[in-house]
Amino acid sequence: MYVLHLALLLLSVAQGERHSWYHTYFPRFFASGPSEPTDERVTALPGLTVQPKYALYSGYLHGTSNNVQLHYWLVEAENKPNKAPLVLWLNGGPGCSSLEGLLQENGPFKVIPGPALEYNPYSWNKIANMLYLESPAGVGFSYAQDGKIATDDDLTAKNNYNALLHFLEKFPIFKGRDFFIAGESYAGIYVPTLAIQLLHSGSPLKLKGLFVGNPLTNRDINLNSALYFLNYYGLADESSWTTALRECCGDECIRKCTFTDNTSSKCTKAINYLKRVISSGLNLYNIYESCAEGATEAADGIYSHYFEFRPSVSHKFNRPKQLNKTEKVLPCIDDTVIRAYLNQPQVRSALHIPPEVHGEWELCSADVNKQYTHSYSDTSDLYLELLHANVSVVLYSGDVDLVCNHLGTEWFLDDLLVKKILQCQIA
């Protein structure tokens, strides 16, 4: 039986009760045995002021060779860690750090100005052991010993797979445990490609399912739906919109115009006019919020590139309204606090980051992004293979993100359902 879920979630700001912490050390890792890497246990994490009931580990996992060193951060489940599933979390980009997921989204605590840490009442580790992996090499604290960080989708999946095998050597307690892969944005590529690696390689992990938020699944669908998104939310005027439909698809009333199939000069001109909306200072990750720095160089770039280099969206709602213009802030993204926290020497030491890892931690690496080769323009076959293997799939999207928008998720799943039905009929 194939399991396919679509949850279209309305993005909201959860105003939960805020807590403070009171101690700066951690208990042992869920009845840890002698095989656990005690030298990688985080015993004192700056910014925490209360003792949690779970333990943290931070260290490195090698990829296909020891040349690739991927930084991991493991958070024990708050409840029944010996039985709780293991969830691997991957942020997107390509080139953005999964520590954003840990420290700004679904981890047990969030970075706040100071910088310090506060309790997150919605942490996923309440029910799961959370493994955050900075991938590929060159992202965050991860690195390649020879400095060569060029990679592609398949090589990234292989490195992530080998990192998981190394993880099981360090934490054999997870062998045979229910395992899920999760992520967002470009993890729409990372997650299924890694899942396929697990299926083909007979991993000791019991892959139960995967779930991806605002996923990149198909490049053409993502681009075409983004233009419909502009019209859907009234961001494009009616005249410009009907002109684009007429010049690109010959029909002003067509439900799905495939703009990417038309390379005529008239269609290009019409699309370029719509692109001006995107480059006018619009916050592509939350259309109801202004950008941290107004008009952005990212939005002024090539349209086909704008959706690729995107961190997540959830922490943009509580950012400061005014930013120091001299701060190094990504377009529309206030990463000042998380950078300040992770670049403290005492934090790097607590996380066992070796001194040979030079330079500052960055939310996203432009070098990785520029040297990344995209192997997949469509992930339909990957998801279909996973569904045939009875792997549960959840794709969910918020409604304010233009970059990887909810219309694209709907369209992709519509097409995927048709392909699945056709395959069943042929069989």
Tell whether 350 is covered by a domain.
Answer: no
Coil, strand or helix: which one is 357? Answer: coil
Tell whether 344 is covered by a domain.
Answer: no
Q: What is the mean pLDDT of residues 361-377?
A: 94
Token pair belonging to 366: 């432009």
Q: Are residues 65 and 107 in the same domain?
A: yes
Tell whether 213 is covered by a domain.
Answer: yes
User: What does the pLDDT look like over 311-345, one tens digit per residue?
Assistant: 433 332 233 333 333 334 455 777 889 999 999 99
Instruction: Give the integer Cα–Cα distance in Å for 400 and 393.
Output: 22
Q: Which of 305, 334, 363 is the last residue of a domain?
A: 334
Do the beta carbons of residue 119 and residue 21 sit within 8 Å? Answer: yes
Q: Are residues 212 and 292 in the same domain?
A: no
Predicted confidence at residue 272, as pLDDT, reads: 86
Predicted confidence at residue 53, as pLDDT, reads: 80
Number of folded domains in the chain?
Answer: 2
Q: What is the mean pLDDT of residues 13-40?
A: 45
Q: Which of 334, 354, 388 is the last residue of a domain?
A: 334
Q: Are residues 10 and 142 in the same domain?
A: yes
Predicted confidence at residue 35, as pLDDT, reads: 57
Q: Are residues 280 and 386 in the same domain?
A: no
Predicted confidence at residue 296, as pLDDT, reads: 38
Q: Which of 308, 334, 360 is the last residue of a domain?
A: 334
Average pLDDT of every residue of the chain: 82
Predicted confidence at residue 278, as pLDDT, reads: 75
Do the beta carbons of residue 35 and residue 102 sit within 8 Å? Answer: no
User: What does the pLDDT look like over 283-316, one tens digit per residue?
Assistant: 888 878 877 653 334 333 333 333 333 343 333 2
Instruction: Give the integer Cα–Cα distance in Å for 414 and 346.
Output: 49
Q: Identify the domain containing residue 301 by its residue range.
A: 220-334
Q: Are residues 382 and 397 in the same domain?
A: yes
Tell whether 341 is covered by a domain.
Answer: no
Q: Are residues 259 and 327 in the same domain?
A: yes
User: What does the pLDDT look like over 91-128, one tens digit per residue?
Assistant: 998 999 999 999 999 999 999 998 999 999 999 999 99
Q: Are residues 413 and 272 in the same domain?
A: no
Predicted confidence at residue 31, as pLDDT, reads: 44
Environment class of residue 13 by beta-carbon count within 10 Å: exposed (0-12), middle (13-18) or buried (19+)? exposed
Q: What are phi and psi of 194, to 5 degrees?
A: -70, -40
Predicted confidence at residue 280, as pLDDT, reads: 74
Coil, strand or helix: which one is 341? Answer: helix
Q: Are residues 207 and 126 in the same domain?
A: yes
pTM, to two decimals:
0.82
